[in-house]
Amino acid sequence: MNNDTNLFIEVASSQKIKSGESISGDTCIISSNDSKNRITLILSDGLGSGIKAAVLSSLTTSMALRLFQNCGDCVSVTETIMKTLPVCSVRKISYATFTMVEIQEKRLVRVVEYDNPPIVVFRGGDLIEKEKQYFKFEHPILGEQKFSYMEFELQLGDRLICFSDGVTQSGMGERKYNFGWQWENAVLYISEVISSDPDVSARDLSDKIISKAWANDVFQAKDDITCACVYCRKPRKLLVVTGPPYDEQKDSYIAYVLKNYPGKKIICGGTTANIIARELGKEIKVDINDRSDDLPPIAYMEGVDLVTEGVITLSKLFRRLESLNQVSMQGVLRPSNLIDKMALLFLHSDVICFLVGTRINEMHQNPDLPVELDIRRNIVRRIKEILERRFLKEVQIEFV
């Protein structure tokens, strides 16, 4: 979500499933409501593990998302959720815990916590404590229940990190962390990561926390391990130029935009690359040994991060993005693979600008070519939709 031109809020989550299970009992939902300029993050931990826990945590997150987005009173909504959730009659505890983080357009952060490990807030490299309000109510079965609420103004450089108890209890029974990693040690590790890499992204930070907790369990997760991070920072930008302009007089324009763009740069299409190389007086070098996925070899141009084939590459990129989700990307993408390398450039960027030429390429009108070779502009629109909906990116398209 981009509140202004100099601010971007990155949200990402990572997860490891309990060893021996096929589905996680933790559920994490990240939702962006563009009409109200609001991001909602909800992390729920279902009691136990496996399918039953997954159903309970999924029920909790979906119910919480719907209620929080339609009601401004966090306290009454939380009470409604807690009274509605199923209860374990033997252990006398709720079948699911949850943490809700909401960020509204004026950077107001609201956090509700029920029985999950406390949320961690860093401002730059410093751990900060925000005042919490505690609310109690009488549950018809469980008796007195308590949850916390806090709100504050988000600032540039702020990070919010929440996780399930699979993180804090990782390593339990092992020699180093006989009683589990504990919240304090997790916070110390987060501080060390930020200190060594002050610009670490929300994605990379959540991945590192999950990897560390998994290592604590000697790489056999004893519980579902889930972490979600929010990072308020200046936006990272990416420009993608694809297709020759409809009017050849615009050739100089696309070259000028690429040359002066303040961010990463990709050129998709041989004709497009030749136009830009001609206009800027650059040389294109092709490495015939650097190819993958049945695609033509990638090329290199000074000042450009990636030069690839056009429509086929974009089609494969869309399918790759479609196969991913916010929680299950850790270790999946391989930089040695062209499409994965391209996907990583997109996912590590916040604001993505497409400059799309509209000159018809006669080769793509050949009826003998596969159906998925849609015309360039429609492929770009599909990529835009999935980047915005699933990965909360800001995407702009300019047709020339």
171-222 pLDDT, tens per residue?
Answer: 998 888 889 999 999 999 999 999 999 999 998 999 999 999 999 999 999 9
In this prediction, residue 189 carries a pLDDT of: 98
Lowest mean pLDDT among 90-94, 252-256, 354-358: 90-94
For the entire predicted model, the pTM comes to 0.81
Residue 71: closest CA among 44, 98, 38: 38
Rounded to 5 degrees, φ, ψ at 40 are: -125, 130
CB contact at 8 A, 39 and 392: yes
To 10 degrees, the CA torsion angle through 95, 212, 200, 229?
0
Record the tokens describing residue 356, joined without a space: 């799309």
With 0-12 / 13-18 / 19 or more C-beta atoms within 10 angstroms meaning exposed / middle / buried, residue 248 is: exposed
Query: What value does the mean pLDDT of the chain take?
Result: 88
Residue 349: closest CA among 300, 319, 391, 315: 391
In this prediction, residue 133 carries a pLDDT of: 94
Residue 201: closest CA among 238, 163, 166, 236: 236
80 band by pLDDT with thresholds 50, 70 and 90: confident
Q: How many CA atoms lie within 13 A of 144 on its CB side?
A: 3
Residue intervals of the chain classified under CATH 3.60.40.10 are 8-233
Query: Which range has the top average pLDDT, 7-16, 72-81, 354-363?
Result: 7-16
In this prediction, residue 258 carries a pLDDT of: 97
167 vs 337, which has greater pLDDT?
167
Please give the Cα distance from 216 to 186 (Å, whole number): 11
154-180 pLDDT, tens per residue?
Answer: 999 999 999 999 999 999 988 888 899
Question: Over pLDDT 70: what percentage of the chain?
Answer: 90
1-36 pLDDT, tens per residue?
Answer: 444 557 889 999 999 999 999 999 999 999 887 655
Residue 359 has pLDDT above 90, yes or no: no
Please give the Cα distance from 385 to 394 (Å, whole number): 10
78 vs 36, which has greater pLDDT?
78
Record the tokens describing residue 245, joined without a space: 């302009």
CB contact at 8 A, 47 and 56: yes
Query: Which range has the top average pLDDT, 63-72, 77-86, 250-259?
Result: 250-259
Rounded to 5 degrees, φ, ψ at 357 are: -75, 145
Residue 279 has pLDDT above 60, yes or no: yes
Amino acid found at 159: R
Please give the Cα distance from 360 to 375 (Å, whole number): 8
Superfamily of domain 8-233, CATH level 4:
PPM-type phosphatase domain (3.60.40.10)
Q: How far is CA 301 from the centre of its chain?
A: 30
Please give the Cα distance from 219 to 367 (Å, whole number): 51
In this prediction, residue 2 carries a pLDDT of: 45
In this prediction, residue 1 carries a pLDDT of: 44
